[in-house]
């Protein structure tokens, strides 16, 4: 079968299409014939070596398709079921072996493309808004990269919970997308000082929570946007890692809280995975949560997908389609 392999860390050019032996599921595993694969920043971090992975490896941690074989002891899902998953390395391929307890069956009305677009980013937005800091009416949050894959979903789920949403974007086109996702106020950080705008929109009070996937270039000013005892949620670093940090700063700025979470710790149990996926996929099936699938590439163009993602040239979700 065909798969993208990384044999040394580096730029997008290290993503090479190769013919490899098709995998077979072992006990407790299923083989999924992949129809759509999500492209995410964690793939970039692993490809570049920022997040070390044993070499060589096949990137990708999010996909959807159909179960084509099941290993010993697997009673569900069944062969032929349409499924999606995230958190298992090796998705940039035509098929993948996945632990059966890490896949969820897609509900009727949700396509493989939607499943691959929703699992990582949708469940990330879900835990950020419903569990890490359960937003409620009266709360105001700041969402950086509000027109990105997670950002558009964050805006929508925050509005479902009755919060006021401020979003930052880089272009007027992205501003319209953020507004369409429910952002009450949109700040063009390329033209405006987002800290000053947040202070203006909140009459100087600041926001209860900042959702920051950008990292280095937004971190310091994001802390200044928080209300007293506010929460700084650093869940990504698309502009690079944050430098050394003195926790005393949190005291000086109002007894702030800082967390650096990851989705894996919020879907660690089967029950939590099923509950989050059911919410997200159910919202999509009912039309309460809209996905923006911005770009689709064949597996052969994985490097181009990475270049566009890293260059901030994308809005919404980027997919690879292994059969194309």
Q: How confident is the model at residue 323 (pLDDT cuts 50, 70, 90)?
A: confident
**pLDDT value, residue 31:** 98
Q: What is the pLDDT of residues 64-91, one digit of tens each?
A: 999 999 999 999 999 999 999 999 999 9
Q: How confident is the model at residue 239 (pLDDT cuts 50, 70, 90)?
A: confident
Q: Could you give the 3-state DSSP secondary structure of residue 217?
A: coil
**pLDDT value, residue 314:** 78
Round to whole Å and give the CA distance between 126 and 140. 17
Q: How confident is the model at residue 194 (pLDDT cuts 50, 70, 90)?
A: very high
**pLDDT value, residue 294:** 87
**pLDDT value, residue 38:** 97
Whether the per-residue pLDDT at 37 is higher than 80: the answer is yes
Please give the domain boundaries of the chain with CATH numbers for all domains: 2-120+269-321 (3.90.180.10), 136-260 (3.40.50.720)
Whether the per-residue pLDDT at 268 is higher than 90: the answer is yes
Q: For 65-69, which contacts have Cβ atoms below 8 Å and span 24 or more sequence positions?
A: 65/32, 65/33, 65/34, 65/35, 65/36, 65/95, 65/112, 66/32, 66/33, 66/35, 66/112, 67/30, 67/31, 67/32, 67/33, 67/103, 68/31, 68/32, 68/33, 68/95, 69/24, 69/25, 69/30, 69/31
Specify the range with the lowest mean pLDDT, choosing from 129-143, 191-205, 208-222, 233-247.
233-247
Whether the per-residue pLDDT at 129 is higher than 90: the answer is yes
The pLDDT of 235-245, averaged and rounded, is 86
Q: What is the pLDDT of residues 285-319, one digit of tens each?
A: 999 999 999 899 999 999 999 999 988 777 779 99
**pLDDT value, residue 88:** 97
Q: How confident is the model at residue 25 (pLDDT cuts 50, 70, 90)?
A: very high
């Amino acid at each position: 079968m065909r798969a993208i392999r990384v044999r040394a860390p580096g730029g997008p050019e290290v993503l090479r299409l190769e013919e490899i032996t098709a995998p077979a599921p072992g006990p407790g595993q299923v083989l999924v014939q992949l129809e759509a694969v999500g492209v995410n920043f964690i793939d970039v971090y692993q490809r570049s070596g920022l997040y070390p992975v044993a070499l060589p490896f096949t990137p990708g941690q999010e996909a959807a398709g159909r179960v084509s074989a099941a290993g010993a002891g697997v009673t569900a899902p069944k062969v032929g079921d349409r499924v999606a998953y995230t958190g298992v390395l090796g998705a940039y391929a035509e098929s993948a072996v996945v632990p059966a307890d890490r896949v969820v069956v897609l509900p009727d009305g949700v396509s493989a493309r939607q499943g691959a677009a929703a699992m990582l980013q949708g469940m990330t937005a879900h835990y950020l808004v419903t569990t890490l800091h359960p937003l409620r009416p009266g709360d105001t949050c700041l969402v950086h990269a509000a027109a990105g894959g997670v950002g558009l979903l964050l805006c929508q789920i925050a509005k479902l919970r009755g919060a006021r949403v401020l979003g930052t974007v880089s272009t007027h086109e992205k501003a319209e997308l953020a507004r369409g996702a429910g952002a009450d106020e949109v700040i063009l950080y390329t033209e405006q000082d987002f800290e000053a705008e947040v202070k203006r929109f909140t009459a100087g009070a600041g926001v209860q929570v900042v959702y920051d996937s950008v990292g280095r270039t937004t971190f310091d000013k994001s802390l200044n946007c928080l209300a007293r005892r506010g929460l700084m949620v650093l869940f990504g670093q698309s502009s690079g890692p944050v430098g050394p940090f003195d926790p005393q700063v949190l005291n000086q700025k109002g007894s702030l809280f800082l967390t650096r979470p990851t989705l894996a710790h919020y879907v660690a149990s089967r029950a939590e995975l099923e509950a989050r996926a059911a919410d997200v996929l159910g919202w999509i099936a009912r039309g309460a949560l809209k996905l923006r699938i911005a770009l689709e590439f064949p597996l052969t163009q994985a490097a181009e997908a990475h270049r566009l993602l890293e260059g901030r040239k994308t809005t919404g979700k980027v997919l690879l389609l292994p059969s194309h």
